Structure 1
Amino acid sequence: MSKFTVIAGSFPTGTGRFTIRNFTLPGDENHYLCETVPAQQIDFLSNHQSHYQSLLDINDTSKELLESTSKGKVIFLAKLKDGRSFVAMADHTTFNKILKALERETDVELEISSSAA
């Protein structure tokens, strides 16, 4: 199980987890409930910064986090087939696990910069 941090989008901010085939995303403000989303529900994945900044309402705290991201982290946008989306931050190892799972399990549209792959 790999951890990532949801920083904006249709889900509350907080820690999420990725297993071989599922994303577990924060589900409520108190993080008592969570939502499990199968990888097959991901419709689009991109780590191009221009995509997620223009598509999501990112608050000042999230902007500061984006600007201060260390070189060991990847920030990515994931869109679900039901129209929801989220921006998350993960280490390179976790991001590569997500990419491999999506390539193997789905026909998702991937837009990945060479620095993250």
Structure 2
Amino acid sequence: MSKITILAGDFPSGNGHFSFRNFTLPGDSNHYLCETVNINQLESFNRVNRQMVTMLGVGERTERMLEDLTQDHVLFMARLKDKRRFVGLTDSRTFDKMIQARRIEGNKSEALTKAPSAA
């Protein structure tokens, strides 16, 4: 299980995880509940830069985190099919895993839509 940090968006800021094909995101402000989002539920998933995140008007805590970024950190933005969004931070290895999982799931979906019907 790989760690991600939610910085801004329609989910509360806090720690989350990515494993296999699922994001586990904070679901409430107290972090007692969480929400699991499958990679198939993503409409878009892109790497972003620090300036883009700053334009969102993030809090002081997030500003401090952005100042301490290293080369290994990756900022990304995800938009779900239900139009909710979040900006996250993770290490480059985890980001590569997310990209690979999204690519694999996309190929599976394409294969299912192109398969001939049994009728």
TM norm structure 1: 0.81
- Cα separation, 1, equivalents of 2:53 and 2:84: 13
Alignment of 1:26-45 (within 5 A): 26-45=26-45
- 2:92 aligns with 92
Q: Which residue of 2 aligns with 1:48?
A: 48
Structure 2 unmatched ranges of 5 or more: 108-119
Q: Is the counterpart of residue 76 in structure 1 residue 43 in structure 2?
A: no
Which of the two has higher C-alpha Rg? 2
Offset from partner CA, 1:65-101 (integer Å, 9 cap, x none): 2232111110110111111111111011111100000
**SS, match of residue 30 in structure 2:** coil
Q: If each structure's helix is expressed as a fraction of its own residues, which one has the higher value? A: 2
Instruction: Tell me which stretches of 4 or more aligned residues in structure 1 moved more than 3 Å.
Output: 50-54
C-alpha displacement of 1:60: 3.1
CA drift at 1:53: 4.7
User: 1:3-50 deviations in whole A, cap 9, x for unaligned?
Assistant: 111111111111111111111100011111000011101111111326
SS at match of 1:25: strand
What is the alpha-carbon distance in structure 1 between the residues aligned to residue 36 and residue 83 of structure 2?
A: 16
AA at the equivalent of 2:17: R
The unaligned stretches of length 5 or more in structure 1 are 108-117
Fraction of identical pairs, as percent: 43
Residue 99 of structure 2 aligns to a residue whose secondary structure is: helix
**Structure-1 residue corresponding to 2:103:** 103
The answer as to 2:12 corresponding to 1:3 is: no
TM-score (norm 2): 0.80
**Greater relative contact order: 1 or 2 (C-alpha under 8 angstroms, separation 6 or more)?**
1
What is the distance in 2 between the residues matched to 1:60 and 1:37? Answer: 27
